[in-house]
Chains A and B, each alone.
Chain A
Amino acid sequence: MSTISDPPSGSFQLSMLINDTRYRSYTFQFIALILLIIAFAYLGYNLLSNLQAAGLNISYQFLGEPAGYDINQTLIEYTSQSSHWRASVVGVLNTLLVAFLGCIMATVIGVVVGVLRLSNNWLVRQLMSIYVEIFRNVPVLIWILIIMAVFIAILPQPRDFRGEDATASMVLGSFAFTGRGFYSPAPVFGPGSGVVIAVFFASIAGIFAFRNYAKKALFDRGQLIPTLWPSVAILLIPSILAFYLMGRPITLDLPSLKGFNFQGGIFMRNSLIALWFALSIYTAAFIAENVRAGILAVSKGQTEAAASLGLRPGRIMNLVVLPQALRVIIPPLISQYLNLTKNSSLAIAVGYMDLTGTLGGITLNQTGRAIEAIFLLMLFYLAISLAISAIMNVYNNAVKLKER
């Protein structure tokens, strides 16, 4: 039998490249490769001849030249004399800032809404599903523009805070919500504040050590040590003591009305806040659905098994349901973070200077270096996406069910 089914050796014919499944895949791949090379050559040729016709070339020299435009919200020092490269870095930081703030807020809202959608309170359940459906089914760009319109049309201008007959006032004397943005107190670190901060971080480390000790005591000796209140005490007491011992080195810089605008404090521009809130509530609607699906994915038998072992409801949630639900929730959660980061490029619609606004917006328009600027822009987002998916793969491998 084997002599028959074995292929006849040494008689390779050209027709086997098409008819023989062993060689056919090489033919197809070869054709695909040739077509790909032809396509790239064609596009590259078009590109070169178009550039030549327009008298352009590909060069990244423009990154070193002075940008010549101002950026109204920066995390690092920047003037209009700084280079385009510096402007791009400012943009990158602004992108990361709004993405970071947005991810935190979206997670908080999303988890709360997701849990409330499973609540046994009928009214709350209905309200939450209305929220989720409305925000999921309307483009995020519209939400960004709507929140921006709130700033423009509803919130008071700084001049409304002035004078005897002011129509607006600051909240708690230290926060001002104006149409230009939000002003809040900023901490000022005087001499000696380093000690306070060091003590604060040391006490955070102390909390972890204490919790480990309590866990060890529970597992080794069966001794149950309360952790909540001691943790709070460890967190607060040493820091407060250090604060007063060092003579109150950290003070608050309150925003105050000077001339036509507020001075001092932390200023968050309206465009940043509009983008941040809109991205958060939009993404939170998706996260809520993920959270709900994750909790529902843990079968009821698990809860009942834990209850029959005598665990209290809080512990059932912490020790049995959540660890299993998280395995379902985290992967889509991370991809929502990724979506939020990519959607933050819509900043350009409200004039927030993220990377799309600096490198892909003003720099591109001023220098006319479209190909280079957009190439760098894509590279940045691609790098973030690939980094996040790499992290996700590592996580998925770590938590996946260990089966035989």
Chain B
Amino acid sequence: MSDTHAQTVAFVRDTMLPEQPPPASEAGVIKWMRENLFKGWFNSILTLLSIYFIYKIVSGAYPWFANGIWNTSSLAECREMLDGMTGACFSVLTERWNQLLFGFKYPTEAYWRPTLAFVLLLVAIAPVLYPKAPRKLLVFTAIYPFLAFWLIWGGTLLTPLLVMVGLIAGYFAFKQFERQSFSMGMLAGLVATVVVIWAGGIFPASMPDLLALQAIPSRDLGGFMLNMILGTVCVSLSLPLGILLALGRQSSMPIIKWICVVFIEFIRGVPLITLLFVANVVLAYFFPPGSNIDLVLRVIIMITMFSSAYIAEVIRGGLAALPRGQYEAGDSLGLDYAQSMRFIILPQALKISIPGIVNVAVGLFKDTTLVSVISMFDLVGMIRGPILASTEWNGVYWELWGFAVFVFFIVCFSISKYSQWLERQLATDHR
């Protein structure tokens, strides 16, 4: 082969040339910029526009932050100190942080209680969120709601303790009768819980000062604490309700199915704010005469109904996404309805629904700000009401709203990032 060209070609190279570096425009930063920023005239214009936009934002916001003042007691003093310069008046945050976080009526000496409850929340929620956390922590998770109630609302520890004992009694009764049938177990558990709580009611009534913290009425709750309470309580309550509603909607029994359909579609069809109006002015008419249910509880009831309808729809999607074979497999193993749901269907359906459930949870947490419309003083309500209306801080819009945006962004963004992480963790299909 090598001498084929011997007569036609004067010179044949028989060694490799050393590699040349690529042209400067095709390597490194320049190549990246050419491909990602200046590919064609349209992209170049977009890039220049974006750079101008970023420059405008930064050049506007930087002096505002850098000249920020943190230690005055009113807006007028801030303006005096700034002396015509652009600058933020962050002192409203340092002076009113307690109102922004806890509301303006919560007793100052009790701030440690919701703070401790919040820290414990992180501990209690860890085993639920992270499958690798020690399982024994789940015991603490089960105790947490009662502990948090006692910490935030105060009163004697006996009340939440009694409810807890009642639920434990109910659990054991359920275990006892579960072998007969699931529904018998539920009934027995319910009866046991009610009986224990009803019978034990004399203890907290007779000893109101045993292990008691200063009792704080729920109308004194406020600030971001109220958003957190409404968010966590309503999401945790609406999950089981949502599962029940979704199963009911999938049921083959027409009456149960239609009850669930009407409930879900009704709730999803109206804005949350009308439901809050119901909580504010109408719901009291439906309680027995003379009973005085406080506003926070009424709002919790309505928001829970609201989010359970949305969660039910998400879980229904998960149930519908399961192949029929899974249902048939449950039947063919001889499991009854409750067993096949608990051991086969729901674990898979819930796993599919996790992103949707987290979306609903984030949406719900954002919607807790709506309670400010019915004159409850959550974070937004505090800003609009007592703080912006006060003579010292009238006109400090950007610092306060910026704070609200910051707080909500941090919480909601981390929740959605968590859900993406969990989705990857739970992906058991091999892709």
Contact A374 B268 (CB under 8 A): no
List CB contacts (< 8 Å) of B258-313 with chain A.
259, 265-266, 268-274, 277-278, 281-282, 284-289
B412 in the interface (beta carbon within 8 A):
yes
* Cβ-defined contact, B413 with A46, below 8 A: no
Interface residue ranges of A304-355 to B (CB < 8 Å): 342-343, 345-346, 348-349
The residue among B271, B366, B409 with the most chain A CB atoms within 10 A of its own CB is: B271
Q: Please pick, from A29, A360, A374, A377, the residue contacting B256 in the complex, using a CB distance under 8 A.
A: A29
* A139:B274 contact, CB within 8 angstroms: no
- Write the B24-68 contact mask toward A (1 if CB under 8 angstroms, else 0): 000000000001110100010011001101100000000000000
Shortest distance from the beta carbon of A53 to any chain B beta carbon, whole Å: 6
Are A342 and B270 CB-contacts (below 8 A) given A36-B259, A122-B37, A137-B408?
A: yes
A371 on the B face (CB < 8 A): yes
Chain B residues near A348 (CB, 8 Å)?
A: 273, 373
Q: How far is the CB of B330 from the nearest CB of chain A, in Å? A: 14
For residue B208, CB closer than 8 A to chain A, the reply is no
Chain A contacts for B286, CB-based, 8 A? 43, 46-47, 50
Q: Does A385 contact B (CB under 8 A)?
A: yes
Bound-state CA distance A346–B271 (Å) is 9
Q: For the complex, is A356 an interface residue (Cβ under 8 Å from B)? A: yes
User: Is residue A32 within 8 Å, beta carbon to beta carbon, of the partner chain?
Assistant: yes
Whether A356 contacts B273 by the Cβ 8 Å rule is yes
* Range for the number of chain B residues in contact with chain A: 35 or more
* Interface pick from B158-166, B247-255, B422-430: B247-255
CA distance A152 to B401 in the complex (A): 14
Q: Which residue of B lies closest to A49 (CB)?
A: B289
A243 to chain B: closest CB distance in Å?
35
Which chain B residue lies CB-closest to A44? B286
* A88 smallest CB distance to B (angstroms): 14
Looking across the interface, which residue of chain B has its beta carbon closest to that of A25?
A: B253
* Given A121-B46, A142-B369, also A346-B273 (CB < 8 A): yes
Interface centre among B36, B254, B362, B384 (most CB of A within 10 A): B36
Which residue of chain B is the closest to A370 with respect to CB atoms? B281
Name A56's closest neighbour in chain B (CB-CB). Answer: B285
Contacts of A96 in B (CB 8 A): none
Inter-chain contacts of A160 with B (CB < 8 A): none
Counting CB contacts under 8 A, is A224 at the interface?
no
Q: Is B74 an interface residue (CB 8 A)?
A: no
**Size category, A interface:** 35 or more
Task: Find out whether the CB atom of A137 lies under 8 angstroms from the CB atom of B409.
Answer: yes
Interface mask (B360-374 → A, CB under 8 Å = 1, otherwise 0):
001000110110110
Choice from A50, A116, A120, A360 contacting B35 with Cβ under 8 Å: A120
Known interface pairs A371-B285, A381-B269; A120-B51 also in contact (CB < 8 Å): no
* Partner pick for B282 among A36, A142, A146, A370, CB 8 A cutoff: A370
In the complex, chain A residues whose CB is within 8 Å of the CB of B259: 32, 36
Residues of the B chain whose Cβ atoms lie less than 8 Å from the Cβ of A140: 366
Across the interface, do B366 and A385 meet the contact criterion of CB distance under 8 Å? no
Contact at B277–A377, with CB atoms within 8 Å?
A: yes
Verify if B225 is at the interface (C-beta below 8 Å from A): no
B271 touches A138 (CB 8 A): no
Q: Are A134 and B409 in contact (CB under 8 A)?
A: yes
**A65 CB within 8 Å of chain B:** no
In the bound complex, do residue A121 and residue B369 qualify as a contact, i.e. CB atoms below 8 Å apart? no
Nearest CB of B to A121, in Å: 5
- Closest CB-CB distance, B277 to chain A, in whole Å? 5
Q: What are 16 A-to-B residue pairs whose CB atoms are below 8 Å?
A: A49-B289, A50-B286, A120-B39, A123-B46, A124-B46, A127-B50, A133-B413, A139-B366, A142-B369, A142-B401, A342-B271, A349-B373, A374-B277, A374-B282, A382-B266, A384-B269
The 10 A-B residue pairs with the shortest CB-CB distance, nearest first, are: A385-B269, A137-B412, A122-B36, A139-B366, A342-B271, A149-B397, A370-B281, A382-B269, A29-B255, A345-B271
The residues of B with any CB-CB pair to A shorter than 8 Å are 35-37, 39, 43, 46-47, 50-51, 53-54, 252-256, 259, 265-266, 268-274, 277-278, 281-282, 284-289, 362, 366-367, 369-370, 372-373, 380, 384, 395, 397-398, 401, 404-405, 408-409, 412-413, 416
* A residues apposed to B, CB below 8 Å: 25, 28-29, 32-33, 36, 43, 46-47, 49-51, 53, 116, 119-124, 127, 133-134, 136-142, 145-146, 149, 152-153, 342-343, 345-346, 348-349, 356, 360, 364, 370-371, 374, 377-378, 381-382, 384-386
